[in-house]
Amino acid sequence: MGNVRDGRRTTATLLAIGLGLVPAAASAKDPMLLIDEPGLEVRLHFQAGVNVVAEQNLFWNFADTFAPEANFDSDTRWLEGYLMPGISFTADAGDLLAIYGKLSFVASGTLGTDAFDAGGTGAITLEDGYLGLRSTAETGPFFDISVGPRPFKAGTGMLIANGGSSGFERGALKLGPRTAWEQAALLRFGQDDVTATAFFIDANELSDTDSGTKIAGGDLRYETDDGQYGGLTIGHVLESNSPYPRAADGGIGPPVIMPGARDGLSFVNAYGRTQPFDGAMAGFFIGGDLAYQWNPEIDLQAWGGRIQIGYVFEELSWAPTIAYSYQTFSGDDPSTSRVERFDPLYYEGNPNAWSTGTKSSMMFLNSNVNAHQLSLQVRPTEADTWTLRYAHIRANELNSPIQFGQGTRLDIIDGTPTPIAGVGDYHLADDVYLEYSRVINPNTFLTAGVSISIPGKGMDSLTKENSPNWLGGFVNVIVNF
């Protein structure tokens, strides 16, 4: 479940940077700057967060139907937090080169019992641990090569973004402080607005669920100074132990688990965003992503995509932004022998990026789902932001696994109890989420939110009754130096 991250650690931080409330460069008074001499800079880093979470009717109280003997408490509250100290350096290596690197660790933990019935857990793990060499010329071609654990995102984060796992034995499930890959080798080169990146990555997964997935690929990106961009990411899974579920023939029967099916997966992802108009329509933007996956070894062909449109009313008070997106990820069609289940890999799973819904994103991991999503964001002040989100979530294929067999149940067919996977109705859930973010100062950010997930007929078909609404809220504070 390494992709279950809600983005609440980063929303206010990114907002503050975008508004210019966080200094882009250190000054001589910066207490984190240890050495600032010609040809050498050494800087300390420190990030910490604490999050209070309350949930009611977790997962629509499905535990009472599917695992009553587990005594799972669907109403829970917990406290989680993390510390992330680090140090980095940059040193000149000649007139046009610089050597750089960073070392950091994450210490995280959870008090109480979280959404996945884990509590009293915590761990200390390496986050960053890389060395690099880059060119420093202000004009002309450039390059940047680095090796070692570090964050990396390709494109919009549809497939490659979240390299680290939190929660369970590591604690801090919702804050999700780990983003760096356990292994990463990156080579960037380009000129002007064009950048090409070759990458090799291995995710920092939980020890008891480590799939051993290693991916190599490349990304070609064109981006202008005003934030418009377009690009293409390609990749190939060199090795993996990750299994896939496959729908039973005709959807009758439990799903078939295919061990190591991710091994050999190839993918291509095209993406872009533009603001095509000037003048009165300058606030309009449109973006899109399209991904195709294939693996001849298991006869897999899958696809996913998204379209986004929106408008920023910069001339109005509070600068409201209205946006709509539709995203969809193929599921395995039970009427074919081919495998069509989309593999979300290591997507960026927060409401600002690629989560399907808000609460529902903890259940639906961007496979065999689609969602219509609306958002309204207002900024009463430069430091305060309110965001309201709504998501209508549906299945792409009936009687087909949504999340590794989730929804497998007994149904009566011709008088015989028969295992069935997936759901019997396309409507899965409706999520509503209200979030407030405040930049307290350039280094301190507060975020709070409340949300509700209303189960649809598809989810109710699993329990043969009206499932309760899933409610929750949180408040967190992040400090970042």
- pLDDT tens for 389-408 read 999 999 999 989 887 555 56
Q: Tokens 């997966």 sit at which residue?
A: 265
Residue 118's nearest CA partner among 206, 7, 44 is 206
Tell me what pLDDT residue 280 has: 83
Tens of pLDDT along 305-351? 999 999 999 889 999 999 999 999 999 999 999 999 999 999 999 99
C-alpha 228/C-alpha 250 separation (Å) is 45
Collapsed DSSP state (helix, strand, coil) of residue 247: coil
Q: How many CB atoms sit inside 10 A of residue 133's CB?
A: 15
What's residue 27's pLDDT? 44
- Mean pLDDT in the chain? 90
Per-residue pLDDT for 46 more than 90? yes
Q: Which residue, chain included where needed, has tokens 């380009």? A: 190
Distance of CA 364 to the CA centre of its chain: 12
> Percent of the chain having pLDDT more than 90?
74
Give the pLDDT band of residue 412 (cuts 50, 70, 90): low
**pLDDT value at 242 more than 60:** yes
Rounded average pLDDT over 186-210: 95
Whether 430 contacts 454, CB under 8 Å: yes
C-alpha span between 156 and 292 (Å, rounded): 15
User: What predicted TM-score, i.e. pTM, was given to this entire model?
Assistant: 0.89
Residue 298 reports pLDDT greater than 50? yes
